[in-house]
Amino acid sequence: MTTFKWLARARIVANVVLGITLIAQPSLPFEWLQEAAPQPLWIVGVVGVTLIYVALAHVASAVAPTLAMSSNLFVVLGPVLPIVLLVWIGLAVPSRALLLLAVYEVVFVMILSRSFQRGWLADLATKP
């Protein structure tokens, strides 16, 4: 579970940095992608606040993953619906920013789920 714990910590840091960026400079990701920013721009700030909130929900898994199994399942399964919504909206309103955010979520979910599975199986193997 050590790998899972460190990956959860990396996810917290990545979400907080991305969230603060979206709150402080909501048009920045759209400028990088040379894409029109959505109007009103405060909607992007709400996404940033949501990312920070999700990061805080990962704290139990980052501190003691063996004691917080329900939190671990949230870390692994929680982003599935937002990924589907990001892809759907990103395709409906052609937006590379939303699709890249969906890819970011998919990559973290795949890495976290694999490390959780390996850590959980190793933890089960040590018990009689």
Q: Residue range 48-53: average pLDDT?
A: 88
Given a cut of 80, is residue 123 above it in pLDDT? Answer: no
Please tell me what DSSP assigns to residue 68.
-
**Confidence (pLDDT) at 89:** 83
Share of the chain above pLDDT 90, in %: 15
Q: What is the pTM of this model?
A: 0.81
How many domains in the chain?
1
Can you tell me the distance from the alpha carbon of 18 to that of 100, in angstroms, rounded to the nearest whole number? 12
Given a cut of 80, is residue 34 above it in pLDDT? Answer: yes
Q: What is the mean pLDDT of the chain?
A: 86
**Confidence (pLDDT) at 38:** 80
Token pair in block for residue 99 = 């699709």
Over residues 53-110, the pLDDT tens digits come to 888 888 888 888 888 887 888 888 888 888 888 888 888 888 888 899 889 989 988 9
Range of the domain at 97: 2-125
Return the higher-pLDDT residue of 116 and 1.
116
Q: Residue range 22-46: average pLDDT?
A: 87
Can you tell me the distance from the alpha carbon of 27 to that of 36, in angstroms, rounded to the nearest whole number? 9
**Confidence (pLDDT) at 24:** 94
